[in-house]
Amino acid sequence: MESLTINNIEIEVQKKNIKNLHLSVLPPSGRVRVSAPQNMNDEAIRVFLITKIGWIKQQQEKFNNQPRQTEREYVSGESVYLWGRRYRLEVVYSNIRNDIKIHGDRLVLQVREESSTEQRANVLNAWYRDNLKKEIPKLLEKWQKIIGVSVNEWGVKKMKTKWGTCNAEAKRIWLNLQLVKKSPQCLEYVIVHELVHLLEKKHNKIFTGYMNKFLPDWRTTKAELNAQILDYMEE
């Protein structure tokens, strides 16, 4: 993949078998991507992008102003999220074992008193990962039957700029760990999105047609996902 830098903005350039230029500013970080016809030269693409710099900055500003969690210290009183619901973190100390339990609107994190911020983060992220992995198989089973595809492998990992990815050749999908913090329908939308890529790799009219068929309200859920509070991300 190539890239161009204009006004200190790095822009990914993808050349495809298409007729027109397509410009996107992607959540959650405001990453910029342009898809261009394969026979279009770089100078023509650059001229097009220069005319769109104002619009690009406007879209990036929207993402920059979106509510975002502060950097985590993993101390009592912080807000944490599970399936779109907000909980107040309560840290308790024990030399027996690490543990996490939910009591009403509190998420109780039990750790050793001398535990570091990184160690507390690891305990919480492992718990998040377990929660997410419990929900994925049932959704995959449901939607693989509906869509008529099957995956050979799936996994969970932390991603800064994508909610999910699909390797159509290997029939493998990855899902962003942060989805466990969003509403359940957001996870379902991303799973459907990635499974549809097994039918159509590109984000084109064919892909959109499949999404409309299988999940008619997908645009609403996509907007909800992109509007939800973002996690703190190191620059």
79-227 belongs to CATH 2.60.40.10: no
Percent of the chain at pLDDT > 70 equals 91
pLDDT for residue 233 is more than 70: no
Could you tell me the residue ranges of all domains in the chain? 2-64, 79-227
Nearest Cα residue to 27 out of 230, 166, 226, 229: 226
Residue 202 has pLDDT above 60, yes or no: yes
Asked whether 175 and 187 are in contact (CB, 8 A), the reply is yes
- Reported as a single tens digit per residue, the pLDDT across 27-49 is 667 889 899 898 888 889 989 98
Q: Does the pTM of the predicted model rise above 0.85?
A: no
For residue range 115-161, list pLDDT tens digits in order: 999 999 999 999 999 999 999 999 999 999 999 999 999 999 988 77
How many CB atoms lie under 10 A from the CB of residue 140?
18
Q: How far is CA 29 from CA 6, 15, 163, 219, 231, in A?
A: 17, 22, 12, 19, 11
- Mapped onto helix, strand or coil, the DSSP state of residue 53 is helix
